[in-house]
Amino acid sequence: MLGGQQPQKHYGVTSPISLAHPKESDHMYTQKLIEAMKPFGVFEDEVEQNHRWGIIIQRVQNELPDSPARDLPPSAIANVGGNIFTFGSYRLGVHTKGADIDALCVAPRHVQREDFFQSFFEKLKKHEEIKDLRAVEDAFVPVIKFKFDGIEIDLLFARLALQCIPENLDLRGDSHLRNLDIRCIRSLNGCRVTDEILSLVPNKENFRLTLRAIKLWAKRRGIYSNMLGFLGGVSWAMLVARTCQLYPNAVAATLVHKFFLVFSKWEWPNAVLLKQPEESNLNLPVWDPRVNPSDRYHLMPIITPAYPQQNSTYNVSTSTRTIMSEEFRTGLSVTDEILRGKAEWPKLFEPPNFFQKYKHYIVLTASASTEENHLEWIGLVESKIRVLIGNLERNEYITLAHVNPQSFPGSKDSHSENEFVSMWFIGIIFKKVETPESVNIDLTYDIQAFTDTVYRQANNINMLKEGMKIEATHVKKKQLHQYLPPEVLQKKKKVGDRSPKHRLVELTAFFCYPPCTVMLHVNVSLRHLPPPSEFGRYKPHLQRRIETHFAGREPARQLQRHGLRHAIQLPNPRKQALQGRLRQRGQVLALALTSVCVSHYQLVLGQQAVRVTQSCLPAESRHPSHKYLCFVKFLQ
């Protein structure tokens, strides 16, 4: 290599798409992204982080089962206890304020599973700080769930063939899996996958910030739920990690945009891999469509990098893949606007209005007579909703079934015998038929098959108790007011979403009554604004006002006369971005403005939604009594 430089290490199963390093504007957009995420509480301060970590390590670990008397020499008794390892978002370093913690209790060989789910469980019961304690020993991945000092914790268990468990134990070694039962292997998988993901990204800080943004976006857009057939935390982490591998030198703002670019064009069901699957002589079942026929039917495979490799998205259905693919395309469009200076990052995190999107819905209701029974019942019902989605997708008259991951409290009036009620809503799109009057679409069979499945499962695990009920009803959009309050159903207004009449009045008032805020920092948005033809209706009136004010003088001289030449000499890249936007417009307008002490003000000019601030003014110019002129150039 020239100059003795080492070649950059490549990650992933292909070469990078781009090795470009970030520009100054990329760092600026990244800082804006951070500021846009702060109001959503996605960053946890160090004090709270240490508090949460201390709770797990210092308190819970003190109660871990040790059973030191089982044929151990006295010299080993001091080191017989297990250790706690976090995984998921906490171990990835992307935990949010108040979020729960996924943790794994790794115990040495002399500690039995019964010690964890019985003696340890009984110890936890005695703690007053522990609430909502429950053991789910017969789950696919057995777990103890509880709240400790207000923090929700899911604690798994794995027993290794070691005499003691050191604090710095690397769980990625495949040798740890030898001779383990399948439950321990599944429990270890979370830590192993998390550690492997972190080892496969070129820059951990860029990865973490990008993942925070994508997780927030997915939650806000209603597509964050592995249980309901969307993607869970580990799947989103792997998609972001793959993006980082393809653009190893990019910063978060660029990576968010490239994330949408890559996966809006991804040809599913081609699998997403972070590394080539590794062979092992442990003979554990792995995801391999060449060997396993069932793996060939997975619609959106994202493969975990740790052995045994598994598809983390086996719950994805035709509908949920369609919905997520559309969201990827929307995300690409929005981030295109943001990086061109035509929108701001908060637009990416705007939630959709699910209840305005469809004409038909299914209202799924789960009710129980006690709070404890209700908590248990809704957990089972929610885990089976994807069965209902599958039933609906197989209906020849249904194109798409879209479940909203958010549940809502139900009305007690319609379930008077039950105090605790939860509802989910599923949007339905029916296929267009040539002779709709001759088709009677009946969803009774699809719904009945689903409710039968839930009741049967509840009976099999001895969960079903008196008062536990489930109902599913097909309704039209206009009937939703019977189930939800107006504030949930009302159409959300977006920036610039005003009627043309309102917009005209606002503009006229702006020019007729000049006291307004100084406009220097300009951001353009084209969505939900009037077409260019509309501006012609009121342009002559505004032009007369401007000409009267300037009294025939050139706008540029007016700017200099009023001392604004310093204010418009904005630092790069802000100046370049502003000049670029103004070059896209041809009509010249000069606006008389008076600065006022406000943080921001929304002003609509033709097709532009202009965000107004006074932060760009020189400090010596920020006085309420000073008058300024701003020169704006735009094209019809």
Q: Which of 325, 349, 373 is the last residue of a domain?
A: 349
- Is the pTM higher than 0.95? The answer reads no
The answer to the question of residue 525 being in a domain is yes
Q: What is the CATH number of the domain that holds 184?
A: 3.30.460.10
**404 with 362: CB under 8 angstroms?**
no
Residue in 203, 195, 3, 171 with CA at minimum distance from that of residue 87: 195
Are residues 91 and 216 located together in one domain of the fold?
no
Q: What is the pLDDT of residue 363?
A: 96
| 317, 404: one domain | no
Tokens of 332: 């690409």
- 409 with 464, same domain: the answer is yes
6 part of a folded domain:
no
**Within a domain: 282:** yes
- Name the H helices within 364-522: 371-393, 444-460, 486-489, 500-512
Catalytic residue among 32, 100, 347, 465: 100
Q: Which of 26, 66, 102, 295 is catalytic?
A: 102
Which residue, 448, 465, 489, sits at the end of a domain? 489
Among the listed residues 26, 66, 115, 154, the single catalytic one is 154
Q: Say whether both 67 and 90 belong to one domain.
A: yes
Q: Is 224 helix (H, G, I), strand (E, B) or coil?
A: strand
pLDDT of residue 591: 35
Same domain membership, residue 322 and residue 380: no
Query: 457 in a domain, yes or no?
Result: yes
Tell me how far CA of residue 589 lies from CA of 504, 537, 554, in angstroms: 16, 16, 11
- The token duo for 388 is 């209902």
pLDDT (0 to 100) of residue 251: 98
The whole-number pLDDT of residue 77 equals 41
State the pLDDT at residue 216.
Answer: 97
- My answer on whether 371 and 448 are in the same domain is yes
Whether 83 and 141 have beta carbons less than 8 Å apart is answered as no
Q: List Cβ<8 Å contacts ≥24 apart for 582-588.
A: 582/522, 582/632, 582/633, 582/634, 583/633, 584/634, 584/635, 585/632, 585/633, 585/634, 585/635, 586/633, 586/634, 586/635, 586/636, 587/539, 587/633, 587/634, 587/635, 587/636, 588/555, 588/631, 588/633
pLDDT of residue 558: 41
In the chain, which stretches have pLDDT less than 50? 1-2, 68-79, 495-576, 578-636
Catalytic: 100? yes
Q: Are 336 and 406 in contact (CB under 8 A)?
A: no
Q: What is the pLDDT of residue 535?
A: 39
At 523 the pLDDT is 30
Q: Are residues 482 and 524 in the same domain?
A: no
Look up 225 and say whether it is catalytic. no
pLDDT of residue 294: 93
Active-site residue flag, 102: yes
Asked if residue 212 and residue 341 are part of one domain, the reply reads: yes
The pair of three-digit structure tokens given for residue 447, joined into one six-digit string: 């719904």
Same domain assignment for residues 533 and 626? yes
Count of domains forming the chain: 4
State the catalytic residue, choosing from 11, 29, 90, 224.
224
Whether 154 is catalytic is: yes
Domain's final residue, options 436, 459, 489 = 489
Q: Are residues 167 and 128 in the same domain?
A: yes
pLDDT of the residue at 324: 98
Q: Do 143 and 249 fall within a single domain?
A: no
33 part of a folded domain: no
Q: What is the pLDDT of residue 163?
A: 84
- Amino acid (1-letter code) at residue 610: V
What domain range includes position 593?
Answer: 500-634
End-to-end CA distance of the chain: 54
DSSP label at residue 608 = E
Q: Is residue 7 part of a domain?
A: no
Burial 51-90 (b: 16+ CB within 10 A, else e): ebeebbeeebeebbbbeeeeebeeeeeeebbbbbbbbbbb
- Is 393 strand, coil or helix? helix
Asked whether residue 177 falls in the same domain as residue 224, the answer is no
Q: How confident is the model at residue 10, as a pLDDT?
A: 87
- Select which of 215, 219, 258, 342 is catalytic: 215
Q: Is 446 a catalytic residue?
A: no
